Structure 1
Amino acid sequence: MTGRERRSDAAANRDRIVEAARAELSRSNGAIAELKLHGIAKSAGVGQGTLYRHFPTREHLLAEVYRHELTQLVDAVAPLLAEHPPLRALNRWLARVVEYARVKRGVMAAIEASAWQDLYLDQHHRLDEALGALLDAGKAAGEVRDGVDATDVILLLGALSRVPESEWDARAGTIVTVIVDGLRVR
């Protein structure tokens, strides 16, 4: 096996581990206590040694899940805008944010505060830019009111962090609907 093949295998293993952890967090509604690393390794089809080589601690794995989720959110903007009118694209994107927020809640609870702050500062501008692109497209189409920016919407989305887990399914979608309705041009 060449060095390139080994690197390719290692990258594929890493991707499978992250996807298995993300899937488990989604299944467990972001409950970190239910995230068993040996189960993640098994689900990813790798040994525990491989998992720990890529992610020496649970915190490292959770941080990578967060980065992965954020990348998927950011990367979804252009296809959504290509397929839908801006306000519908924004609404669909915010529906994805709801799932992201569920995973993020669990990650935030598990990652030490200083590490979370570093991760947030390093990555969050990407979310601001993605949301800004959706809002700008909506304003250009006359669907989104002027005077609103990404920071306003992100502050409103902060309400998701206050929804009790037992009420998540009933309330998270309603919060997004209220936000989108408030963004519409009157």
Structure 2
Amino acid sequence: MSEKKESVLAGFKAFLMRGNVIDLAVAVVIGAAFTNIVNSVVKGIIGPLVGAIGTKSLDGYTSCLKGPCSVDPATGNAVGVNILWGSVLNATLTFVITAAVVYFMMVLPMAKYLARQEARRKAREGVKETMEITELEVLKEIRDNLVAQRNGSDGAGASTGTGTGQHRGGSSA
């Protein structure tokens, strides 16, 4: 039974040490810190700008569905049915701003970087293939010239072959 515990623990350790899990943990921590920044921007800048046409805070925008909509002074509880659409608007703006910042500051630059890396890789592979083809052609010409020399010719016309082995099977010198 201790072997099974060791293998389970070893498997769990391997799971935790995989790069994906650690990257995910870092992303969650950074995301939580980043959320505080975005919330501060929305609460301190965007909210007051939108609220300039009415109340100071978006949370103050409400609609009364079933009256009377007020707060009981004795208990502090809301009386009636109040729809807090300003809070929903505030949360929506926070989400949109967070998504825009993540896209424009992280996703878009990373996509451009990866596209440049892929283009460089393809360019390197294209140059490498060109070099290989050129080297192959040179080697074929050298082979054809050696075959022509072995046959006793001066090599004039040996380079006109396609390099497909047409000069093979020459004299048995």
User: Shared topology, TM-score over 0.5?
Assistant: no
Structure number having the greater strand percentage: 2
TM-score range, shorter chain: under 0.3
Which of structures 1 and 2 has the larger relative contact order (alpha carbons within 8 angstroms, sep 6+)? 1
Using the size of structure 1 for normalisation, the TM-score is: 0.22
Structure of greater Rg? 2
Using the size of structure 2 for normalisation, the TM-score is: 0.23
